[in-house]
Amino acid sequence: MANRLIHESSPYLLQHAHNPVEWYPWGEEAFERARREQKPVLVSIGYAACHWCHVMERESFEDEAIAAYMNEHFINIKVDREERPDVDHLYMDALQVLNGQGGWPLNMFVTPERKPFYGGTYFPPKRVYQRASWMEVLEAIHMTWLKKPEDIHHQSEQLVSHLQQLSLTETAVGTETENPQQQFETVFRNIMGQADMESGGFGAAPKFPQTMTIQFLLDYYFFTDNKTALDQALLSLDVLLNGGIYDQIGGGLARYATDNDWLIPHFEKMLYDNALFIQVLSDAYKITGAERYRRVIEETIAFCLRELSPEQSGKGFFAALDADSDGEEGKFYTWTYEEVLELIPDIHPALLEYWDITPEGNWEGATILHNDKPLHYIREKYSLTSENLDELLLTMKQQLFGRRAQRNRPLLDHKILLSWNALMASALLKAATALGEKKYSDAASVLLDWLLQTFRKDSILYRSYDGKQVKFNASLEDYAYLIKALLDYSSTLADGRYLDIAQSLYQYTVAHFSDPQQLFFYFSDEAQKDIIVRKIETYDGAMPSVNAVMAENSIRLARWYEDQETESRGKRMLLSMQAKVIRYPTSFAYWATTLQRYNNLNTLLIAGNNIEESLSTLHRTFIPHVLLMPVQPGNQLPVCVGKNLSGEQQLYLCDHFACLPPETGLRNILSKIKVKEMLE
């Protein structure tokens, strides 16, 4: 018998629609019943590609006895964190205050007034290793609710007060430093203090891609010529390309690796990880010209179009692919030695060694394909030319891909999220500039047009699309990433059709998301009444800090519209974060990158007839400190006023709102800005 989740569209909620637990979706109906019956509320948060969410469902939420106890003593709510990141952020913050750590599934017990008082992540069905069982937790909460309600009231009030204070402390005022370059040197040293200089990445397992930290290092190399920064950035990218975390057959990056050497991934694939991966690879390609980066950019985009886009149309991208198939994590992606030999009986031994395919396997008796040996080692050992080895690898990939296509596929989370798709639009634009491929900027245009048509209703954005309708008011994440994507497009093509839309959306965020000091932005719209604490989000999580992106958007929009007040806000946001960025750079890497770029920022307005060749050259060049402004002749944007933009090409290099005399040739402009030639 189905519960109330049967009427939802989220794949994660639908997974729980036939649990014996009487789940409610997030909403007033559940809390009204809790108030009427005076019961505590369980808010259980997860997402479709979450492995341990599936485990806890099988072990506990499908258990008739446990479900009966939950139904009798609790009001139970299921939340898809990707549909409602505002709910997730609120209760994840509460959990981290309570336990010092977080994760999913997130199980938070709250009062009928939505105030949290106890929580945890995964609980087993039976007590193991000092971890209480789920039933023990339920019984303890129930007894405390009955016998010590004053304790719960006190705990919840204290916790909410603390969460409110956390948001207030984010609004510290910062001041300019006399030697900004010195602060970036400190950021660099602190990053390198966490860098794994042998296996790549930062910190110990589990290891996440941390593409935003890699991006800072690429930029830092550009500004300082520090080869150590470049080496660590490229090492960190190369281990991702070569490791089991990257799907060597079908393309696409998994969410994280469970080991230090990047061999064993958590096999779920998220759209946002791949979008951010494409972006940083594109800059690595601009710096190095290395063919391996071009190949993986193209493979990753191909994966997203093939497996995450409806009918491969590029009109929206789905959220994620699960880690599990046939009830086993990674089954879709792994191989046994016998399977490979059955498919390719005459396989060249070079391929077995290159992919680390052995009878014993490298993970639970199976093999996770990864590049175990460098190509030059394999070529030399087996006396193969580059062409011979490339042909062998391509043929094997095609054979394995064809066989894998016959397997049962992992679950597809088919909801389409505005913010994640905006990240993908930015990725397509970055790839277009790096590779000189118009098809990718065309794809970004198709995507952006579809996003605006689908998610924008009466000048208000919505967050999630289920194939039929949009749901949920957009969060700051949606506004920030979409504004950025629209500005990225405006810097890629001499096509200003999105600029006024970006400006309009920005003005909406200022009006409806600003904090009382008109400095930072709350994560949720002021119109939302179902969130008891409006959070100011400044950390980078798996995606860039939304306030860091809004600071960047403020500065970029200000340069287009010559709006010093808007630029001042972006600058104040950056300065207010300086101390945290310096001390914890891997937690604030997007802030660090934006600060470093703003410290060196120039704008380059380019207009006139036949600017395509110059624009292409500029796009292929790694110049992170230059905001490109390609415009059509006759453009009336504020940045164009007073400039001669008709006839032959004109290039105006500007610092803040003061411009050098225009140049007609690109060579003279390139001599005035720092440019690096490709390394390879």
Q: At what angle do helices 85-99 and 149-169 cross, to 10 degrees?
A: 110
Q: Which of 354, 463, 373 is nearest to 419 (CA)?
A: 463
Q: State the pairing for strand pair 626-630/269-270.
A: unpaired
**How many beta carbons lie within 10 A of that of residue 10, not counting itself?**
26
Distance CA 640, CA 635 (A): 6
pTM: 0.94
* Single-letter residue type at 231: D
Report the 3 state secondary structure along 520-577. Answer: CECCCCCCCCCCCCCCCCCCCCCCCCHHHHHHHHHHHHHHHHCCHHHHHHHHHHHHHC
CA dihedral 597, 419, 499, 520 (to 10 degrees): -60
- CA-CA distance, 629 to 647, in Å (whole number)? 17
My answer on whether omega of the bond before 85 falls inside 30° of 0, hence cis, is no
Please name the residue that has the structure tokens 């200000």: 558
Query: How do strand 106-110 and strand 116-120 relate by DSSP bridges?
Result: antiparallel
pLDDT reported for residue 168 = 63
Strands 41-46 and 75-80, bridge-based pairing: parallel
Q: What is the pLDDT of residue 176?
A: 62
The pLDDT of residue 656 is: 73
CA 340 to chain centre: 34
pLDDT at position 177, please? Answer: 61
Q: Which residues of 440-476 are buried (b: 16+ CB within 10 A; e: fewer)?
A: bbebbbbbbebbbebbbeeeebbbbbeeeebbbbbbb
Determine the distance from the C-alpha atom of residue 298 to the mean position of all C-alpha atoms in its chain, rounded to a whole number: 19
DSSP 374-434: -HHHHHHHTT--HHHHHHHHHHHHHHHHHHHTTSPPPPEE--EEHHHHHHHHHHHHHHHHH
SS3 percent helix, strand, coil of the chain, rounded to 5, is 50, 15, 35
Question: DSSP assignment, residue 472?
Answer: E
81 and 44 in contact (C-beta within 8 Å)? no
Distance CA 157, CA 460 (A): 34
Q: Tokens 């453009």 sit at which residue?
A: 635
Cα separation, 404 vs 399, whole angstroms: 9
Q: What is the pLDDT of residue 480?
A: 98
Give dist(CA 520, CA 670) in Å, integer: 36
Ranges of beta strands (E only) in 430-540 are 456-457, 460-465, 470-473
Handedness of CA 263, 268, 274, 280 (dihedral sign): negative
Q: Name residues of the chain where pLDDT drops below 70.
A: 168-178, 676-680
Report d(CA 545, CA 594) in Å as an integer. 11
**What's the confidence (pLDDT) of residue 174?**
58
Unique residue bearing structure tokens 């006190």: 154
- Give the span between the Cα atoms of 578 and 592, in whole angstroms: 8
Whole-number pLDDT of residue 420: 98
- Distance from the Cα of residue 3 to its chain's centroid: 32
Helix 134-147 / helix 149-169 crossing angle, nearest 10 deg: 110
Is-cis flag, bond preceding 206, omega within 30?
yes
364: left (phi over 0), alpha (psi -120 to 50) or beta: left
d(CA 573, CA 554): 10
Tally the residues of the chain: 680
Residue 446 · residue 459 · CB < 8 Å: no
**SS3 letters for 248-267?**
CCCCCECCEECCCCCCCEEC
Say if residues 120 and 45 touch (Cβ distance below 8 Å).
no
Among candidate residues 627, 618, 623, the one with its CA nearest the CA of residue 674: 623
Of 290, 306, 310, 307, nearest to 375 (Cα)?
A: 290
Identify whether the C-beta of residue 123 lies closer than 8 Å to the C-beta of residue 131: yes
Please write the tens of the pLDDT for every residue from 230-242: 999 999 999 999 9
**What is the rounded end-to-end Cα distance, in angstroms, of the chain?**
62
Neighbours of 509 (CB within 10 A): 23
